[in-house]
Each structure stands twice: as structure tokens, then as C-alpha cells.
Amino acid sequence: MNYRIVDGAEKMNLDDVIRILRMTYWADKRSREQIEKSMQNSSCYGVYLEDEDKLVGFARVISDYATTYYLCDVIIDTEYQHMGLGTALVSYIESLPEYTGLRGILITRDAHDLYRKFGYEVLNERVMVKSLNC
């Protein structure tokens, strides 16, 4: 499966992002306006299938770029899960220089194994932290 990861909310169609976020337990009730505003105030990343030019993955990062970043809204379209796309998306984000050496925080109830691959540790049932040079 050929895919590409895009960087920037302006490179994604809002309706496509809304479609994917509607598949989640945490963002399925967000209004269009909330999703749009959250994208405007975050760094956004999308996974596109090359052959179809279809958005099948999405993630946002909120950061001060000095000490901490919050990885959120990581989702792969249910039709394309368990194919390595989530790992590829998180790997891409984690490799970006703007997050190197910062503490990473995320909240999840069901994807601990994915994030452990990148050094995150469970603090409680849902919060995970990757402590580095902070």
C-alpha cells in the first residue's frame, strides 16, 4: 500500500478530517467549528493513500516547542487499521526536529502498545508520557 504523510492543516480537506474523527470515541461529537478551530491552532498531519488520494489517517500536535508537546486525535480510518499506518504516522511525528528532546503527553484508553514503541509510559489508565530532556 502506497501512502504519503502530509504536514499542515491547509493541505487537508476539512470534510475528510471530520469523517475520520467521527469514527472515534473522543471526537465524534465535536462540531465542525470545533474541529476547524482545533486544526487552526495545532500542527496537523494526515496520511493519504497515493492511489486514491484519500485521507485515511490524521493526528494533531499542540506544543510550546520548548518543553512539551501533546499528541492528540491520532486516528486511522477503521477500514485501514492494523496495516502499519498508525505506526508510520506516529513515527513521522516523533522524528520531527521540533519535538526532539521535548516531553510528549497523550491520552488514550486503548492504544498503549502503539505508543510504548515510541517510549511512552502509562501514568494511569489513560495518560501516557514520554519524558526526555525536560
Indicate the CATH number of 3-130 among 3.40.1160.10, 3.40.630.30, 1.20.1290.10, 3.50.50.60. Answer: 3.40.630.30
* Contact in structure between 42 and 99 (CB atoms under 8 Å): no
Count the Cβ atoms, other than its own, within 10 Å of residue 10: 9
pLDDT classification of 53: cutoffs 50, 70, 90: confident
Read off the pLDDT of each residue in 76-85 and give the average, rounded to a whole number.
96
Dihedral of the alpha carbons of 26, 13, 104, 93, in degrees to the nearest 10: 140
Whole-number mean pLDDT of the chain?
A: 94
Read off the pLDDT of each residue in 17-45 and give the average, rounded to a whole number.
97
pTM exceeds 0.85, yes or no: yes
